[in-house]
């Protein structure tokens, strides 16, 4: 996937900052709209869903800082579609209490479309692994 980076100041993801989020998306996307993120509601919903994922992993709100969520726009298309498509790659980062849009890039996608990926800090990973390990025991080898 080819990426063209655009540098901008991070934006707190809130409804009050919708116009700033949309302006940043427009700056990166240019005229491309078909397979790109174009509105703030999509980004706000993404932050809310990611917060729910962290909650489901049972990471305390006070320990969520530093988690990241990367998302590349665009659904998969039929094999008959032969062209590449312009998409949007966004990076969201959890602050002490809120989510921030810290990077937006233009990306090239093919048939498979975009993707989403949650990245935890090492400390957050330890929390999740410790909670999972409480649910099982390892049998000694005979």
Per-residue pLDDT of 127-137, as tens digits, reads 999 999 988 88
**Residue ranges per structural domain of the chain:** 3-133
Residue 3's pLDDT band (boundaries 50, 70, 90)?
very low
Let me know: does 33 contact 122? Beta carbons within 8 Å: no
pTM above 0.75, yes or no: yes
Per-residue pLDDT of 29-82, as tens digits, reads 988 888 899 999 999 999 999 999 999 999 999 999 999 999 999 877 777 777
Section 90-96 average pLDDT? 97
CA 78 to chain centre: 25
pLDDT at 8: 67
Which range among 13-17, 40-44, 113-117, 134-138 shows the weakest confidence by mean pLDDT?
134-138
């Amino acid at each position: 996937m080819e990426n063209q980076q655009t540098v901008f100041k991070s934006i707190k993801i809130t409804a009050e900052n919708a116009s700033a989020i949309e302006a940043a998306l427009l700056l990166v996307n240019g005229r491309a709209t078909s397979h790109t993120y174009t509105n703030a509601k999509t980004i706000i919903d993404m932050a809310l869903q990611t917060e729910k994922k962290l909650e489901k992993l049972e990471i305390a709100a006070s320990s969520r800082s530093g988690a990241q969520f990367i998302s590349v726009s665009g659904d998969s298309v039929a094999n008959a579609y032969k062209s590449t498509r312009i998409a949007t790659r966004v990076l969201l980062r959890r602050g002490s209490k809120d989510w921030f849009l810290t990077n937006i890039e233009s990306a090239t996608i093919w048939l498979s479309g975009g993707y989403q990926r949650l990245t935890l800090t090492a400390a957050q990973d330890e929390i999740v692994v410790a909670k999972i390990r409480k649910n099982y025991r390892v049998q000694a080898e005979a």
